[in-house]
Amino acid sequence: MSNSSPSLPPVDVSLTPQERFEEYLQTRGLRQTNQRKFLVDEIFSHHEHFDADELMERLPRKGAKNYVSSATVYRTLREFVDAGLLKSFQLEGRTVYEHDYGYPQHDHLYCTVCRELFEFQSEALTTLRDEVAAEQGFRISGHRMIIHGVCRECSKNRRKKRKQDLV
């Protein structure tokens, strides 16, 4: 599950994802392993939404250098979420991951045809969220919005097909 929309601007952070994860491991008495290091580097080498299966497709196969078992991938993804490096959410019955550390709060448009996630930020949406919360005496800890629909490209392709069907 890639993201074809332009990337949102990064947020300044004091530690690299690798350093942040090492700090997390130390606070829990866990040790850094080569597999964990490799996964941090792989995930943060480019920005995209992904699920565990998509990540494993990109990783070296069994017997190759830097091989990581599926059990280690699943366990380490949970650790990355706990460490604040990744966020996870459910989409069509799958757990989808995205960068959290060093990345701004944002929401998503989801195309139900091509299955692309498009990120966006909206000051108006944030203002509305804050106003509604204030009216209800609610303290916000975060939010996630995923708007389902059909993207411009898929809409355009559907229209073309319909015209051809009429001929």
Binding-site residues for Zn(2+) = 111, 114, 151, 154
Residues 51-66 as b or e (16 or more Cβ within 10 Å = b): bbeebeeebeeeeeee
User: Residue 65 to residues 30, 35, 59, 71, 102: CA-CA distances in angstroms?
Assistant: 23, 10, 10, 17, 29
Binding region? 107, 111, 114, 143, 151, 154
* Binding site feature residues for Fe cation: 107, 143
Would you say 123 and 160 are in contact if contact means Cβ atoms under 8 Å apart?
no
